[in-house]
Amino acid sequence: MKMASGWERLRAWFLLPAWIWMAVLFAAPFAIVVVYSLLTRGAYGGLGLPWTMENYQRLFDPLYLGIVLRSFAMAAATTAICLLLGFPLALFISRAGSRKNIYLQLVILPFWTSFLVRLYAWLFLLRDTGLINTVLQHLGLIHAPLPLLYNDGAVLLGLVYGYLPFMVLPVYATLERLDPALVEAAADLGAKPWPALLHVILPLSAPGIRAGSILVFIPALGAYLTPDLLGGGRTVLIGNLVQNQFTNARDWPFGAAISVGLMALVGLLVLLMLRSEREGLV
Amino acid sequence: MKRWLALYAAAVYLFLHLPLVILAVFSFNSSRFTVWQGFSLQWYRAIFQDQQLAESAWNSVIIAVVSTILSTAAGTLCAYGLWKRGSKLLSGSLYLSLVTPEIVMGISLLALFQWSFRWLHWRLGLYTVILAHVAFSIAYVVIVIAARLRTFSPALEEAALDLGATEWQAFRFVTLPALLPGIVAAALLALTVSFDDYVITSMVAGVDSETLPMVIYAMARRGASPVINAISALIVVVFGALVLISERVREA
Amino acid sequence: MESILELRDLVKLFPNQRAVDGISLKIPRGGFYSLLGPSGCGKTTTLRLIAGFEQPTSGEVLLDGAVVNEQKPYQRNVSTVFQNYALFPHLTAAENIAFGLKRKNQPDIERKVRDALELVRLAGKEARYPAQLSGGERQRVALARSLVLQPDVLLLDEPLAALDPKLRKQMRLELKEMQRRVGITFLLVTHDQEEALSMSDQLAVMNAGAIEQVGTPQDVYLRPSTRFVAGFLGAVNWIEGIGLRPEVTRISRTLPSNGGRFRPATVTGSVFLGNCVHVLTRLESGEDAVAEIPRNNGTYQAGEAIHVCWNPSDEMIFP
């Protein structure tokens, strides 16, 4: 339509910077990675022809498959724990009346401080010479430091700590929109608090739980920094594997293949999320 | 039930905040061990005497400021353009950039830069970090501005046209002023996200473009020094202040 | 006298709807004109076509004799008062009013703004922001903002809908008075027939994208050309295909002897409305009729046998 042409022109110019940036610094890099995943590792860590599917085949090696499965398990465990811990908190905030916003801010605030700092805080607490061990030894409860760090448990703790707000916020959003009349109707029909929770509130908060679960699972699956710092190289997840290929192992094609595989998984999960939730983020 | 819930909530909040509080408290510890031995500001003094810290902090600031300016401008214009008429491809790729694992984004940008350096004969440096930071910040800006635009009435732009303004003038004199609080909030968000980034930055930074997170990471890896506690405490305070300002502005 | 605004066979099609289905209209200079119709009849679309926010699928819009189809809103010399006023929240009342003048780089802005504020009786409130003004005040700022540009036609999109009822009645008089004083052609769009009747010099009744009748308020109310117009402008009793307004429908216990028409009927109810009484009746034919009678004309009980009578000259007959 001719009328819209003034707006159309403006819009075209306005979208240009974002288009260029996404094309050059998001799409193109990933395209290069896909290409690299099909090449062969060179003698000194470079890469070149021939074209090969070998890198993808290596993914099914028991060693690497194990890493993928462990990453899945870790992400699933993180999601489950975040749900367990986060749902009651979201419930609490949704019932806090006028102080809702403050409580919400208290959940968000630690998230927006430095991620690195928050991981380091746990290092400080869990190390052999960390605060927890020092206190326990001081109290005479233990004689040698507990190995709290550099294991799967520490990584799990770190992941939950990092991604809990991602579960709390969507669940809270759904709970907030819940019609209080529904809970009142349940009570009116004879449901005590716990059954009401189980049979009315929980099912109705399913969309929020779904959204929160995917918002936790996806970053947990691709986590790198948390397992790196808190796992100390003993807990190797997909993210660590990728980083290793591009630095120490110098096997870019293999690293690229892993990345493509990871992105495929992430893409699948996103499609799942978009299908269950009709409104997008942007 | 309400009392249990409140108790539980208190416990979770403690879990979320206590580690940081402890970190901050021990930044004032006069001993470098995790036994409290007295109050001291020595670690804070050490920060300001460390050359490497100063340089890396300065790098972080430059990167954050430049990338924020670029990403806020590009993101605001993008959100506005998408508000006029959506683009599934652009929205999709912005959204994808948010869910892409940082390590994947980091290595793919590294791959891009190394590949292009074959023709350009350039090297990694501050500028590559800036380019990378803009790439992952734009989506955040778009989200904030898009949310702001949802509460903006299109009738206002029509009224502007009706009164004689061209489309660009309508944007400049009517829409942009209305978006200003959102733009400030988005910029503060981009600033904190950029300043804190480690994973992507570590992959695309040059040898002389170390950032503060990279230094902190190296120190954390080596073993703990209360200097990190002190830096951490400072960062938490600064970030916290920026976030609070951002929330205040967003409500304006 | 050449018309200031003319629509020629204007058609606007949307993907799922014929919003405007061939409208032709000539609006003379000066005067208060209305487009009246139910929601969805196309009156707002017509307004937007005139203002330039929509492009016609076919047909022409002429302003002061010239075809303006290709012109953007900021090139046309019409101005719109939006339904929710669309005042720029970040500008004061004075800055809102000055907006159009600044865009067109007109001289003497301060004086014009001052005069406009006085015209709408808002002198003293120029530094206030829209959020600090009442609904009625905001409407006056919107009016001033458009009028200060001296448009050929002022378009008003349901300007009174957002006001509370008491204020609405008062604003009708003020708007009418303002149009007289300023002399600019006003084109009002509304679904409220009382509004259109009380303010317009002429009005066009729209339905389903077409104009059913154009005329003075008396024309469309007393001599509606279609059943739709009759029904939309007020209540109608349909008796054997003839339309009668309740206020000309009378009730009599005896046979009337003045040459009027009558039909036997039974009273089914009586409603006291304060200033009058509505007597509900059912005729032998089964049709219902409401008679509006003065409140001191006796009371009628349900079940009473009476006659419904009227003057033949009050009949509304349709082909």
3-class state of residue A204 by DSSP: helix
The subunits that touch chain A, with at least 3 C-beta pairs less than 8 Å apart, are B, C
Burial of C69 by CB count in 10 Å (0-12 exposed, 13-18 middle, 19+ buried)? Answer: middle
Which ipTM score applies to this complex?
A: 0.89
Contact criterion met (CB < 8 Å) for B164 and C72:
no
Q: Indicate left, alpha or beta for C64 from its phi (over 0: left) and psi (-120 to 50: alpha).
A: left
High-pLDDT (> 90) share of chain B, % = 67
Interface of B with C (CB under 8 A): 153, 155-156, 158-166, 169, 173-174, 177-178
Q: Which of B95, B190, B149 is nearest to A279 (CA)?
A: B95
Using the predicted structure, report yes or no on whether residue A2 has a pLDDT greater than 60. Answer: no
Q: What are phi and psi of B105, to 5 degrees?
A: -65, -40
The answer, for A1 touching chain C at a CB cutoff of 8 Å, is: yes
Sorting pLDDT into bands at 50, 70 and 90, what band is A130? Answer: confident
Taking the CA of residue C245 and the nearest CA in chain B, the distance in Å comes to 40
The answer, for A2 touching chain C at a CB cutoff of 8 Å, is: yes
User: C34 - beta bridge partners?
Assistant: C188, C203
Q: Which residues of A210-248 are buried (b: 16+ CB within 10 A; e: fewer)?
A: bbbbbbbbbbbbbbbbbbbbbbeeebbbbbbbbbbbbee
Contacts A131 to B, Cβ<8 Å? 22, 26, 34
Residue of C nearest to A5 (CA): C72
Contacts A6 to C, Cβ<8 Å? 72
Contacts B173 to C, Cβ<8 Å? 99
pLDDT at A277: 62
The subunits that touch chain B, with at least 3 C-beta pairs less than 8 Å apart, are A, C
Do the beta carbons of residue C200 and residue C189 sit within 8 Å?
no
The answer, for A153 touching chain B at a CB cutoff of 8 Å, is: no
Contact criterion met (CB < 8 Å) for A1 and C55:
yes
Q: For C148-200, what is each residue's pLDDT tens digit? A: 999 999 999 999 988 888 889 999 999 999 999 999 999 999 999 999 999 99
Using the predicted structure, report yes or no on whether residue C219 has a pLDDT greater than 50. Answer: yes
High-pLDDT (> 90) share of chain A, % = 55
Provide the token pair at C156.
């008003």
Whether the upstream peptide bond of residue A50 has omega within 30° of 0, thus cis, is: yes
Mean pLDDT within B30-50: 84
Contact criterion met (CB < 8 Å) for B159 and C88:
yes
User: C292 - beta bridge partners?
Assistant: C278
The angle subtended at Cα C243 by Cα C241 and Cα C245, nearest 5°, is 155
pLDDT at A274: 76
Sorting pLDDT into bands at 50, 70 and 90, what band is A202? Answer: confident
Using the predicted structure, report yes or no on whether residue C26 has a pLDDT greater than 50. Answer: yes
The angle subtended at Cα B62 by Cα B59 and Cα B68, nearest 5°, is 135
Q: Which of B163, B150, B161 is nearest to C141 (CA)?
A: B163
Provide the mean pLDDT of chain C: 93
Do the beta carbons of residue B139 and residue B76 sit within 8 Å?
no
Which H or E run contains C61? strand C58-63
Contact criterion met (CB < 8 Å) for B160 and C149:
no
Alpha-carbon distance of C305 to C319, in angstroms, equals: 32
Provide the token pair at B115.
């590949």
The answer, for A49 touching chain C at a CB cutoff of 8 Å, is: no
pLDDT at C58: 95
Mean pLDDT within C218-223: 94
Provide the mean pLDDT of chain A: 88
Q: For A38-65, what is each residue's pLDDT tens digit? A: 999 887 777 888 899 999 999 999 999 9
- Global pTM reads 0.88
Burial of A97 by CB count in 10 Å (0-12 exposed, 13-18 middle, 19+ buried)? Answer: exposed
pLDDT at A42: 83
Contacts A95 to B, Cβ<8 Å? 2, 5
Cβ neighbours of C170 (radius 10 Å)? 12
Q: For C238-287, what is each residue's pLDDT tens digit? A: 999 899 999 999 998 888 777 789 999 999 999 999 999 999 999 988 89
Considering only CB atoms, B163 lies closest to which of C84, C89, C103, namely C103
Q: For C2-15, what is each residue's pLDDT tens digit? A: 799 999 999 999 99
Residue of C nearest to A1 (CA): C55
Using the predicted structure, report yes or no on whether residue B175 has a pLDDT greater than 70. Answer: yes
Taking the CA of residue C149 and the nearest CA in chain B, the distance in Å comes to 8
Provide the token pair at C10.
């204007």
Amino acid identity for residue A58 in this structure: R
Q: For C59-112, what is each residue's pLDDT tens digit? A: 999 999 999 999 999 999 999 999 999 999 999 999 999 999 999 999 999 999
pLDDT at A278: 59
Q: For B183-237, what is each residue's pLDDT tens digit? A: 999 999 999 999 999 999 999 998 889 999 999 999 888 876 788 889 988 988 8
pLDDT at C255: 83
Q: How many CA atoms lie within 13 A of A186 on its CB side?
A: 17
pLDDT at A232: 84
Between residues A179 and C121, the one the model is more confident about? C121
